[in-house]
């Protein structure tokens, strides 16, 4: 009897000792599960102009855009298109031409447009004498520059096989897919889908000439 009684006492003591540890372990496990739950919830990052995470600039020339400041993609998204272009050193000739034509306010005040913006190297393809002549002729310059502007924001998908009327009232055509697009079969998009406050910009390597 004494032996049986001792066994019962031992079992009771073991239960008393083990139970608190079991409860503590369950409590800890429950708190960890509760804390981890929010981390598993999907998150959505907001981007300017309602852009999605994949709706980003593309092309080899994009690598030369500053990572921060007014000339960065984030900085340009805050400014209207003519102002944004003025912060990009590769577009300085275009900015000079826009000023010469008196189009700064026209472009900055427009809503939801697309600008095909020739780089400095694109303008350098034009013989200097011819370029100087165009820059000195406000009417001719305005014709050329407004031929580079479409009155809607164009997405890359729309450029795959597109035909669009420009502000100059002429037509431009676009072809391509992925990150490879051409305009009028002559100009290649070298940095596309750049956002400004009022425009989508596609930087191109050749100046477009209206017929």
Correct CATH for 57-204 of 3.30.420.40, 2.30.180.10, 2.40.30.10, 1.10.10.10: 2.30.180.10
pTM over 0.85: no
- In tens, the pLDDT along 186-201 reads 999 999 999 999 999 9
Is residue 2 scored above 60 in pLDDT?
no
Query: Which backbone phi and psi does 133 adopt, to 5 degrees?
Result: -65, -40
CA–CA gap between residue 207 and residue 110 (Å, rounded): 22
Domain boundaries, the chain: 57-204
Is residue 150 scored above 50 in pLDDT?
yes
Mean pLDDT of 6-11: 45
**Short-list 17, 73, 89, 91, CA closest to 195:** 73
More confident: 54 or 77: 77
pLDDT, averaged across the chain: 82
């Amino acid at each position: 009897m004494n032996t049986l009684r001792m066994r019962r006492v031992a079992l009771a003591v073991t239960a008393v000792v083990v139970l608190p540890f079991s409860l503590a372990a369950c409590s800890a496990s429950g708190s960890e599960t509760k804390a981890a739950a929010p981390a598993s919830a999907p998150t959505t990052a907001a981007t300017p102009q309602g852009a999605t995470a994949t709706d980003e600039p593309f092309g080899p020339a994009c690598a030369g855009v500053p990572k921060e400041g007014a000339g960065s993609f984030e900085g340009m998204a805050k400014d209207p298109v003519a102002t944004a272009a003025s912060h990009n050193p590769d577009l300085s000739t275009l900015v000079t031409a826009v000023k010469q034509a008196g189009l700064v306010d026209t472009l900055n005040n427009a809503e939801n447009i697309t600008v095909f913006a020739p780089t400095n190297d694109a303008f350098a393809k034009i013989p200097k004498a011819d370029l100087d002549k165009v820059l000195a002729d406000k009417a001719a310059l305005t014709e050329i520059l407004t031929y580079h502007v479409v009155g809607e924001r164009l997405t890359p998908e729309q450029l795959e096989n597109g035909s669009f009327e420009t502000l100059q009232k002429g037509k431009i055509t676009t072809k391509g897919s992925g990150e490879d697009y051409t305009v009028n079969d002559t100009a290649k998009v070298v940095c596309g889908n750049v956002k400004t406050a009022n425009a989508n910009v596609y930087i191109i390597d050749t100046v477009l000439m209206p017929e």
